[in-house]
Amino acid sequence: MTTFDNLLAAVTVTDGQPVHDPATGELVGNTKMSSTDDVDAAVAIASQAQKSWGALSHAERADYLHKAADAVNASAEALAQILAREVGKPLNGPNARFEAGACEAWLRANADFPLEDEVLVDDESGKSVLSYVPIGVVGAIGPWNWPMMISVWQLAPSLRMGNAVILKPSEHTPLSVQALVAVLNQALPEGVLQVVPGEGDIGQAVSEHPDIDKIMFTGSTKTGQAIMRSAAADMKRVTLELGGNDAGIVLEDINVADMAQDIFWGAFINTGQTCAALKRLYVPASIYDELVQALAKIAAETPMGQGVSEENVLGPLQNAAQQKIVADLVEEARKDGATIVTGGNPDDHQTGYFYPATIVSDIDQKNPLVQIEQFGPALPIIKYDDLDQAIEWANELEVGLGSSVWSSDADRAREVANRLIAGTTWINKHGAVDPRVPFGGVKKSGMGLEFGVEGLKQVALPKVTTL
Ligand code: NAD
């Protein structure tokens, strides 16, 4: 077992860049910042290490992944404590401890997915077999909201399929990812997993590197577009998990008291800083006031505060820029005549990048808080009279990551779900990802799939053998 102090000491350097707790402003530690020479050196090591790693059998690599999952399990509390300080997310609720647990779960699931060769033709004309072989070195570039979990989403299938991995964490959360890598490397062979902390220029160096063969990227649509351009020169494979602005459509048959909690957490998971969180809610006029009031009550009563305090389940925004995006969007909504039912007034005297859980009603579809991804704790609730209109509103944005339908009638919910344009539509839940179930965005929310056997195939090269 690794303690929090040991783990933090292992990833902190004396002359590095300071990283602060977004809740208190206190120093968490100093991170190494990589140069492009460091990227070159890491790629050279990875290319060498990949040769023997890629030559192992699936069963042998699965065994390593399970041992890496054991290491995460043994250090789960230390990892969660680092997340609570660096990301600011509370230890409890669907936050830091949950994230450390998800890392273990995704490692084990990716170790165990069966991936057999597919016999496509086997008759008098011959035999054709489709198999999946390693790509080589995968560059994995990530965001700050779920830094460990998203790194595992990228590295676990990549390693399982025989690739070496170089992670480029967000500049906002470098210590979390270095801590995770330190733990995983207690179990993995040397050189197959490395981390190059740095800013966007280091991400660019990774996505342009001629000896990196595949990019797995999770982050904003704008950066995803830049990566696609960088990747074009060498025809690198890319998987892009990008921004979303997920709609939830409530049907008039729901029992508000039964469903309000789940709707709330669909939107406010990780204090709203989640790609596939519910970011705009469409509610029929007949139950509009009742649901708005129920959500406002939960928002006002849910404890928000410092990540390391056991009682909190909502935390600060991770950084000043994100806090300003949320505050500006709510302010604009207020000026346009929307009602701020609860929240909306950050306490200027409080340290840290806090923004209260905010419910906004009487807001229309064209408002920027509806049109733009807020990525924070402010939910716009739009009233509708006509379900067809609500579906049109849900579908009209340029993004399509997740969506949800809320109803007591499963058949009706499925009918509406079939009309929503998104990578995933949940019924009576939102954002519930599962390592066995493929996940990815459509439109400007991304390209490719993660998770499950489909996810394994996307970090491998399809290879057909015909005799
Ligand atoms: P971001 O695009 O600003 O940064 C993501 C990463 O890209 C960082 O590591 C950054 O250093 C790096 N980067 C910046 N410029 C680069 C370049 N030119 N080339 C290569 N790398 C570069 O995103 P963010 O602010 O960290 O994350 C928030 C966004 O991520 C939101 O839009 C959110 O919806 C999205 N997101 C999507 C998913 C998903 O699974 N679809 C998951 C989490 C977050």
Task: Give 3-60 pLDDT, tens digit per residue.
Answer: 999 999 999 999 999 999 999 999 999 999 999 999 999 999 999 999 999 999 999 9
pLDDT band at 2 (very low <50, low <70, confident <90, very high): confident
pLDDT for res 351: 87
Do residue 252 and residue 335 come from a single domain? yes
Do residue 290 and residue 328 come from a single domain? yes
Residue 437 in any domain: the answer is no
pLDDT for res 112: 97
DSSP 367: S
pLDDT tens string 149-160: 999 999 999 999
Residue nearest to atom 18 of ligand 1 (CA): 204
Do residue 194 and residue 259 come from a single domain? no
pLDDT for res 150: 98
Distance from the alpha carbon of residue 255 to the mean position of ligand 1, in angstroms? 37
Do residue 410 and residue 460 come from a single domain? no
Do residue 258 and residue 388 come from a single domain? yes
Residue 344 in any domain: the answer is yes
Residue nearest to atom 19 of ligand 1 (CA): 204
pLDDT band at 320 (very low <50, low <70, confident <90, very high): very high
Do residue 234 and residue 258 come from a single domain? no
**CA distance between the termini of the chain:** 51
Distance from the alpha carbon of residue 309 to the mean position of ligand 1, in angstroms? 28
Measured between alpha carbons, how far is 316 from 306 in angstroms, rounded to an integer? 7
Token pair 């230890």 in the structure block, residue:
91
Distance from the alpha carbon of residue 219 to the mean position of ligand 1, in angstroms? 2
Distance from the alpha carbon of residue 220 to the mean position of ligand 1, in angstroms? 4
Kind and range of the H or E element at 145? none
Residue nearest to atom 23 of ligand 1 (CA): 219
pLDDT for res 349: 67
Domain count along the chain: 2
Do residue 274 and residue 377 come from a single domain? yes
pLDDT tens string 244-270: 999 999 999 999 999 999 999 999 999
Residue 434 in any domain: the answer is no
Distance from the alpha carbon of residue 348 to the mean position of ligand 1, in angstroms? 28
Over residues 379-400, mean pLDDT: 98
Residue nearest to atom 39 of ligand 1 (CA): 241
Q: Which atom of ligand 1 is nearest to the CA of 275?
A: 34
Residue 115 in any domain: the answer is yes
Do residue 325 and residue 406 come from a single domain? yes
Q: Which domain holds residue 421?
A: 246-427
Measured between alpha carbons, how far is 423 from 198 in angstroms, rounded to an integer? 31
Write out the two tokens for 317.
């925004």
Minimal CA–CA distance to 430: which of 402, 458, 453, 409? 402
pLDDT for res 1: 65
Residue nearest to atom 26 of ligand 1 (CA): 143
Mutation pick for ligand 1 pocket among 218, 326, 437 (CB with most ligand atoms within 8 Å): 218
* Number of Cα atoms under 13 Å in the Cβ half of residue 162: 18
Do residue 380 and residue 253 come from a single domain? yes
Over residues 214-220, mean pLDDT: 98
Residues forming the active site:
241
Mutation pick for ligand 1 pocket among 34, 176, 275, 447 (CB with most ligand atoms within 8 Å): 275
CA angle (320 as vertex; 319, 322 as ends), nearest 5: 70
Q: Which atom of ligand 1 is nearest to the CA of 207?
A: 20
pLDDT tens string 161-199: 999 999 999 999 999 999 999 999 999 999 999 999 999
Q: Which residues line ligand 1 (CB under 6 A)?
A: 141-145, 150, 168, 170-171, 199-200, 203-204, 207, 218-220, 223, 226-227, 241-244, 275, 373, 375, 401, 441, 446
Q: State percent of the chain over pLDDT 70.
A: 99
Asked whether the beta carbons of 245 and 280 are under 8 A apart, the reply is yes
Distance from the alpha carbon of residue 102 to the mean position of ligand 1, in angstroms? 20
Do residue 232 and residue 250 come from a single domain? no
Mutation pick for ligand 1 pocket among 17, 145, 173, 245 (CB with most ligand atoms within 8 Å): 145
Per-residue pLDDT at 350 exceeds 80: no
**In this structure, are strands 118-123 and 126-134 parallel, antiparallel, or unpaired?**
antiparallel
